[in-house]
Structure 1
Amino acid sequence: MAQEALTPEEGKKKKGGLLKWIIIVVLLAALGVGGWFGYKMFFAPSPEDPAAQQDAAGDPGKPAEQKEGLIVPLPTFLVNLADPLGRRYLKLGVEVEVRDADAQAALTKYEAKIKDTLLLLLSSKTYEGLSTMQDKVELKQEIADRLNQILGNGGVLRVYITEMVIQ
């Protein structure tokens, strides 16, 4: 009978053990909610992402159509950047994905116009204007826009930067 009665120390010990398990469960729940939130914010495709919407709206058995064209390399460009002292250079290698063989032929036909346009565009850039990833993506878009102005009818699908050195 003496062993059946709990001493005050043993009662506190059981309450402390129960409190520890409650804290562990609450922490695990908080980590789970934090992990879910982190996934939704950083890894899950955003709803305004057009590729994700097309995949969600399309048939599950049918892959999404991607326009693929011909890859055409352009000559390497070496220009002075528009920095105040003019001591920085940009060496840029570019390949262009065009829609069809007609656009590829137009690239060779208008090669002088393309070189002139891209040299003027690249030489107007500064080191600070090309330093971030966003700036490089914008440069690719500007190159595609300028090429589409020359070629017309959206002949250029994508621009790939294959080499970029700023010194």
Structure 2
Amino acid sequence: MAIEGEAPAKSKKKLIIIAGISVLLLAVLGAGGFFGYKWWMGKKAAAGGDNATEQKAEGGHGEQKAEAKDEKKGDKNGAVSGAGELVSIPPFLVNLADPQGRRYLKLALDVEVRDKSAADELNKNMPKIKDSLLLLLSSKTYEDLASIENKILLKKEIVERMTLVLGEQKVMRVYITEIVIQ
């Protein structure tokens, strides 16, 4: 009987050791997978950052000089024009006007307006502005939006559309905060 009692004790001990090793192995594999993912995605993010730097360099220095001039200008009260109110516009998701109709554009904007009253008026007219921008964006093709120059042109067109809705030059700048073309 003593021999029969020792066998279950040894098998329980063996089972506990196997379970412990399995848990330890899973923890090591999970940590390795996590760090491998971070390392791999870190390289891709760094490569994407280099690409963004190249795109910025392709944009030329003329646009940067024009923006610098705009920032140096003040309004009639002497305030620097870069101190306007920012209004966020929720993301747009539209079909592009491509022949196959399979491309989409997701675009989020921040709009810099002259003052608080202009921001209030922009918010009050938000449905009209969204309608105007949806029509503008859905008329674009992939080629119309592919290059950095065309994105800068799009920003100018958006300012023009907003000026048409608001009635006078209240919009100073438009910032593209998110753009996805698929």
TM-score normalised by length of structure 2:
0.57
Shift of 1:115: 0.7
Alignment of 1:37-116 (within 5 A): 51=68, 66-67=80-81, 68-116=83-131
Q: Distance in 1 between matches of 2:108 and 2:159?
A: 14
SS in 1 for 2:90: coil
Shift of 1:84: 0.2
User: Which residue of structure 2 aligns with residue 146 of structure 1?
Assistant: 161
Code of the aligned partner of 2:159: A
User: Which residue of structure 2 aligns with residue 166 of structure 1?
Assistant: 181
Q: What percentage of residue pairs aligned between the two structures are identical?
A: 54
Shift of 1:66: 3.0
Q: Which has the higher helix share?
A: 2
User: Which residue of structure 1 aligns with residue 147 of structure 2?
Assistant: 132
Structure 1 unaligned regions, length at least 5: 1-44, 56-63
Q: Distance in 1 between matches of 2:143 and 2:97?
A: 10
Q: Distance in 2 between matches of 1:152 and 1:161?
A: 22
Could you say what the CA RMSD is over the residues aligned between the two structures, in angstroms?
2.2
Kindly provide the CA deviation profile for residues 54-97 of structure 1, in whole angstroms up to 9, marking residues without a partner as x. 97xxxxxxxx9630201100011000000001000000000000
Code of the aligned partner of 2:98: D
Q: How many pairs are equivalent?
A: 112
Q: Distance in 1 between matches of 2:161 and 2:142?
A: 21
User: Quick check: which has more Rg, 1 or 2?
Assistant: 1
TM-score normalised by length of structure 1:
0.62
Code of the aligned partner of 2:144: G
